[in-house]
Amino acid sequence: MDLLVLGGTRFVGRALLDAALARGWDVTALHRGRTGAPPPGVRVLHADRTDDREFAAAVGGRRWDAVVDTWAGAPRVATAAAQVLAGSTGGYAYVSSASVYVWGEHVDETSPLVDGDPAGGDEVDYAAAKRGAELGVLASSPGALLARAGLVLGPREDIGRLPWWLRRAAAGGRVVAPGHPGRPLQFVDARDLAAFVLDSLVAGAGGAVDVASRSGHTTTAGLLRACVEVTGSDAELVWVDEQRLAAAGAQPWTHLPCWVPTSGEFAGFLEADTSRAAAAGLRCRPVEETVADTWEWLQREGFPAQRPDRPVHGLPRELEDGLLRAAGREARN
């Protein structure tokens, strides 16, 4: 396969490049050259995708067997790329997000979607941007694969979710563990997401697919205990219930990465039916492997800088201290 990846220097894009190279494919990555370099063996095209003429000049006159786009910004950029490449590729895949579903109504791929404008600019929020990009891609490539990724973890994660838990576990001591230990967790390792996208392109598969593990592939306890074990620390998980977390102002997902409560506006979150992806060949590695490989990457390359386009993740120390003090008093009483 001759593959073009739009992006490729960050997280999922890098996982796609690594997976394609491992298969012996000819791989080209188009990027601006601002956030790192692709691995050796990748042909590089430098262009600013937000400049339509510059992008068209960079890819003009070439044909690829398949194209994968991971764009998460203004929908018009993904739309324009799909238009330019429509006659130059056999297959097209867009790495989208489960965020495109209407909040609180996501069950599977048939669930209601947010509105999106293919011509939208930077002013739209993440969910609308991803949906707008989907529509723009489909307008030029009706058979495109829309890989709607769930929570993505693994090596090279630059969002700060699993890296924060690993850093906190490594620091040791008493650690706030949110909610119920058996809370089902649903995620996909970036490498498994990449493998699924490439397999789908080979098979000529398209359409929308929710790409994540089954709900309960692991649990909150499974993730956090793996973090403690792999770091070799003396961290003690102190389980704090949902009501106490809410009362203290601890925010799900950001203060407590990868976790949301089981009730209220988050009911059904991390519990989607992903049987379509499983039937199409998605295979998800054990959470222990994802955690161990992420820790090894962090030890080797250091913790990534905070991305300016994502919120800071992790429980503020003063908030954690207060929750731990309250938990200690409750245990003594």
Instruction: Kindly state the percentage of the chain with pLDDT values over 90.
Output: 89
Give, for 189, the enclosing helix (H) or strand (E): strand 188-189
Write the class of the CATH domain 2-149. alpha beta
The predicted pLDDT at position 306 comes to 83
State the pTM of this model.
0.96
**What type of residue sits at position 37?**
A
The answer, yes or no, to whether residue 78 has pLDDT greater than 80, is yes
Q: For residue 300, what pLDDT band results from cuts at 50, 70 and 90?
A: very high
Taking 80 as the threshold, does the pLDDT of residue 237 lie above it? Answer: yes
Q: For residue 310, what pLDDT band results from cuts at 50, 70 and 90?
A: confident
The pLDDT score that the predictor gives to residue 9 is: 85
- The string of pLDDT tens digits covering residues 2-16 is 999 998 888 999 999
What own/partner pairs with CB < 8 Å and gap ≥ 24 does 28-32 have?
28/2, 28/3, 28/4, 28/62, 28/64, 29/4, 29/5, 30/4, 30/5, 30/6, 30/55, 30/58, 30/59, 31/6, 31/7
pLDDT band at 35 (very low <50, low <70, confident <90, very high): confident
Mean pLDDT of 265-281: 94
CA-nearest of 104, 254, 289, 98 to 178 is 254
What is the per-residue pLDDT across 36-60, written as a single tens digit (0 to 9) for each?
778 999 999 999 999 999 999 999 8
The better pLDDT of the pair 278, 266 is held by 278
Cα separation, 16 vs 190, in Å, equals 8
Domain assignments of the chain as residue spans, ordered by start: 2-149, 157-185+216-270+286-332
Kindly state the percentage of the chain with pLDDT values over 70: 99
Using the predicted structure, report yes or no on whether residue 332 has a pLDDT greater than 70.
no
Count CA atoms within 13 Å of residue 217 on its CB side.
27
Residue with tokens 């203004």: 74
Question: Which pLDDT value is given to residue 286?
Answer: 98
pLDDT interval class at 307 (50, 70, 90): confident
Q: Is the pLDDT of residue 154 over 90?
A: yes
Question: Treating both helix axes as pointing N-terminal to C-terminal, what angle do 52-59 and 75-85 enclose, rounded to 10 degrees?
Answer: 30
Contacting residues for 330 by C-beta, under 8 A, at least 6 apart: none
Confidence label for 202 from pLDDT (cuts 50, 70 and 90):
very high
With 80 as the cut, is the pLDDT of residue 86 above it? yes
pLDDT at residue 74 greater than cutoff 70: yes
The pLDDT confidence band at residue 314, using thresholds 50, 70 and 90, is: very high
Distances (CA, A) of 1 to 27, 65, 91, 171, 320: 8, 6, 11, 45, 50
Question: In the predicted model, what is the mean pLDDT of the chain?
Answer: 95
pLDDT at 333 over 60: no
Indicate the pLDDT class of residue 218, thresholds 50, 70 and 90: very high
Contact 172, 233 (CB under 8 A): yes
Residue of 224, 149, 234 lying closest to 183 (CA atoms): 224
CA 93 from centre of chain: 16
Instruction: Average the pLDDT over each of 10-14, 93-97, 194-198, 293-297 and give the range with the smallest value.
Output: 10-14
Of the two residues 216 and 37, the one the predictor is more confident about is: 216
Q: What was the pLDDT predicted at 331?
A: 64
Is the pLDDT assigned to residue 130 strictly greater than 60? yes
What is residue 305's DSSP assignment? P
Return the amino acid letter for 203: A
pLDDT of residue 61: 85
Section 279-308 average pLDDT = 95
Q: Measured on CA atoms in the order 121, 125, 130, 135, is the torsion positive or negative?
A: negative
Closest residue by Cα to residue 110 from 184, 210, 214, 212: 210
Q: What's the rounded mean pLDDT across residues 235-242?
A: 97
